[in-house]
Structure 1
């Protein structure tokens, strides 16, 4: 399957880069023309467009992972103006990875919503597509102004999705969510304006090229602008203490919206990683690695906050929300070390943790419905073969093992839906806690190894982890332990303890997305070698941004086609003016 996708990407790669943005835009515009009663058609368009977007994203990722090419980075000029004057879209390994991750989470969310949640309000499907458009644009754009534009498209759609289904809790959390994100957008604009005033450009590659030439008198203002801009991104990345809004908002949203929002915090992580490695890498002169201590410290505090929050949570939705916070804190802290080997490990950890949190949001909805009487449940009807074993009069004579309620303990049939949910919850527990054999354990182990042996780009020989390194190691282990305790306690309460409730009723369209997300996590672990090679190549390119800068700045506009030569006697060619007559003397 990879070969046809690779051929497709090679043939039309420049224009294919537009597809992740244009496809959801056109799909949303088409759905807005349909009546609200045509839900089935809108659902088909939503799922079909998201599936096609996943195919395109995989094709783009296959193109960026080609071997033997001088560069695997593509730049596209939508307005046919050269950088830094025109809009530029840039595709590298990191962008392609985030596009595939977004499409996978989006497809799982759309399939799960098709069971019931998409009918809870109006315009769900157009908002969903606009959300995907904003996410894809944020990962592809190569200038700060368009990053702001796509951020606002993404946030505007998320406001409607968060309020989808109404309810007092959603409205209350939604207003908080809107207020804090409007404040973050204001900080974004202020930081961008300050950077433009100092450098005269908003193109990311042009900014990176001008960092070393900033005058010493302007460097303090540059750092202040970067701090303001970073605050906006840290709000979106759910860094402590700016993440008080996340858990109430994500847990109040409907399950498919919460699953889709799991990728939202990673947009802030992506923006910080992209800009920090471009603007404050080792080649940035006096500003090299500016803010690394703040990133590490903020990440460590966020990890602690997320782990303690999970331990103190009683509601499943809150557990999933704090799991998202814990994942973001881990990524932020690892990013702050500024070493390519640590970055390679965190990029391997990023997709697995995001997929696990998305699956946990979907699974929490099924478990909560199972707990609620009369909501998606049906009484358990034993099979005819089970009848003798359920007769209390026959039990003593058969010598069967009994529990405290004089019921059969050995041979009792577990309903398939309950077994599926239990195994899925176990897999989510292993992923969030970072236990073997799934992918998050491999990612954490790679980060721990790199922190304890920092010999990558930007690290000198014999460099020691230091206090921050050992604190990160301790918190990475301790947070996994606390997450394990919290999720195990929730699993015992919902699956192990005795309950007088009927067996759950699970639709295939609800179980399929959860199974697909968790199988993807397992696939990351099985293919750990190739995936780690890809993420390490991505990290090496991020910490050596010269290739990115050259590819963006050297992208040339498409020349105009030459005009056809004029043939003498062509009827379409106007006749040459006659020579003026000579006047007689």
Structure 2
């Protein structure tokens, strides 16, 4: 008996960037083209592999779950990697954003530092590992790999502002890593395991046993562990560091930071539905209410931040906080049909914010200090703008692209029609108002969440349109900026993906509905992970009954 070759695809998203990053580490700056080609080929291979995993999870594996036992040790003693519809979808999203970031970085940003591509590959390894691992300690390891690589990338092309923001970012995440380690240790002390499936079984048994001291230690460990994830997910007030870091990071690095903010929310979604789902007995729905109201507070903080700032980088940071807060509130609300729409919103908002952070640098090339000052003065003193006679001048191609791309990003982030942001928010509203026969009717928490999602969209469109007016209409003497094709293509590609999400909303929703149904059935994961057996070793040639043994005399 041997392992099917398709099972080995589960480990490729971890091994491939690890090998690519290690191979690129010794190369100096003079090998830039080779390093870019290797990194880009790695990202393309990761995209192809992720699409293959999504296809296998959606019909090729029993229960839609593929389990890979590292070193051929059975769970819970060995390391288990799990690929399902949700993790495969996250791998596809990661590969798409990585390709866009690498393409944008090629003419300028990747040439500034020697080890940009090496750190970028290690970052991909950490993110992919966090999506695939089913073991808490290895989740910690992948988080640390991801964060260590991001420390170097945030400092990439350093200046005073970037150095100051990176020190804050590193300090906050080091504290979060300490919380992660302490929380993991407390959970291991109470459950005796680090495998998530095995831990889910033992938590249900501990909750049924009712030993107060053990339950208090368990709840303390869960709370400390949650703090680590919520720092990464930028829940208020733990996300104070995020807007400053987004504004200071280079554009291709900021794209990956957008995704890294969502990794924390993804882990909370995965862990809480597995450990504290409806099958957890007395521990069911532990912490859900705190997640719901904390997520709503995060939405309020993000929306207020967008209204209070006029810096594009900070606008993107606060938009990411609103997106993350929405997902956390949905997790805490605990309605499966709402999770489907929230996952669609997760993907749509991540792509839109990523396109926006790439667009910021291009837009800044037309935002001269004089134009910005004129716009602020006209706004402050209510200067009337008397329209001049039309001169019949055509709009340069660069200005047309920037303005249309900005409008598309603004509409998607704010959730206005006709792009994917509107589809996502409409889906969430529909799920809240029509919860289904097995779900309770919408209550005060649901109405509050709906109102906050609506108000945050209004805050986003006011803030983004204010920025757009100051940028594109501040003065008539705006010179068209010089745009490199490598900078335009990734922005256009991400916006095209957003359009495809809108046009193909039904197939995407169907896929995410199946993914949501899977993660709301923790017993299925427990059976698949703990029930997967190692591949037996081949019998020696001289053992009777083996395929190569000789015939008996």
Please confirm whether the aligned pair reaches a TM-score higher than 0.5, indicating the same fold.
yes
Q: Match for residue 208 of structure 1?
A: 200
Instruction: Give 1:346's match in structure 2, choosing from 327, 342, 346.
Output: 342
Q: Secondary structure at the match of 2:496?
A: helix
Shift of 1:33: 2.1
The Cα of 1:467 is off from its aligned counterpart by 1.4
Structure 1 residue 75 and structure 2 residue 67: aligned?
A: yes
Alpha-carbon distance between aligned partners in 2 of 1:406 and 1:493, rounded to the nearest angstrom: 18
Aligned residue among 459, 462, 469 for 1:485: 462
Give 3-state SS (helix, strand or coil) of 2:67's partner: strand
- 1:313-357 per-residue CA deviation (whole Å, 9 max, x = no partner) reads 111111111111111011111111111101111111111100001
Q: What is the aligned length?
A: 525
Query: Quick one: distance in 1 between partners of 2:318 and 2:497?
Result: 22
Mapped pair 1:49 → 2:42:
yes
From 537, 548, 565, the equivalent of 2:514 is 537
Secondary structure, aligned partner of 1:139: helix
Which residue of 2 is the match for residue 553 of structure 1?
A: 530
Are the aligned partners of 1:28 and 1:130 in contact in 2 as well (CA < 8 Å)?
A: yes
- Superposed counterparts of 1:32-431, under 5 Å: 32-66=25-59, 70-214=62-206, 215-217=209-211, 218-372=214-368, 408-409=390-391, 411-431=392-412
**Residue by residue, what CA displacement relative to the aligned partner does 1:238-261 show, whole Å, maximum 9, x if unpaired?**
000001100101110001110111
Measure how far apart 1:11 and its partner are.
6.4
Contact 2:76 2:193 in 1 (8 A): yes
Deviation digits for residues 42-72 of structure 1 (CA, Å, limit 9, x no counterpart): 11111111111111111111111127x6411
Taking a change above 3 Å as real, the CA distance of residues 146 and 496 of structure 1, as seen in their structure-2 partners, is: same
Partner of 2:82, secondary structure, is strand
Inter-partner Cα distance in structure 1 for 2:397 and 2:29: 36
Distance apart, 1:372 and its partner CA:
4.7
* TM-score (norm. length: structure 2): 0.92
Give SS of 1:234's match.
Answer: helix
Q: CA RMSD in A?
A: 1.8
**What 5-or-longer segments of structure 2 have no aligned partner?**
370-384, 545-549
Q: How far 1:405 moved relative to its partner?
A: 8.6
Are 2:421 and 1:440 equivalent residues in the alignment? yes
SS at 1:371's partner residue? coil
- Contact 1:339–1:456, Cα closer than 8 Å, also in 2: no
Is this contact kept in 1: 2:126–2:144, CA < 8 A? yes
Q: Is the 8 A contact 2:29 2:111 kept in 1?
A: no
Q: Deviations 1:534-580 (Å, cap 9, x if unpaired)? A: 1111111111111111111011111111111279xxxxx9xxxxxxx
Unmatched 5+ residue regions in structure 1?
Answer: 1-9, 374-402, 568-572, 574-585
SS at match of 1:89: strand
Query: Residue 53 and residue 70 in structure 1: after superposition, are their counterparts in 2 closer, same or farther (change >3 A)?
Result: closer
Is the contact between residue 199 and residue 207 of structure 1 (CA under 8 Å) also seen in structure 2?
A: yes
**In the alignment, which residue of structure 2 is the partner of 1:377?**
none
2:473 matched residue in structure 1: 496
What is the alpha-carbon distance in structure 2 between the residues aligned to residue 335 and residue 521 of structure 1? 24
Give the TM-score normalised by the residue count of structure 1.
0.87
- Distance apart, 1:497 and its partner CA: 2.9
Q: Distance in 2 between matches of 1:296 and 1:147?
A: 24
Runs of 4+ with deviation above 4 angstroms: 403-407
Secondary structure, aligned partner of 2:534: coil
The structure with the larger Rg is 1
Whole-angstrom CA distance in 2 between matches of 1:367 and 1:424: 10
Partner of 1:562: 539
Separation in 2 of the partners of 1:56 and 1:290? 36
CA distance in 2, matches of 1:544, 1:89: 18
Higher helix fraction: Structure 1 or Structure 2? Answer: 2
Contact 2:292 2:332 survives alignment (8 Å): yes
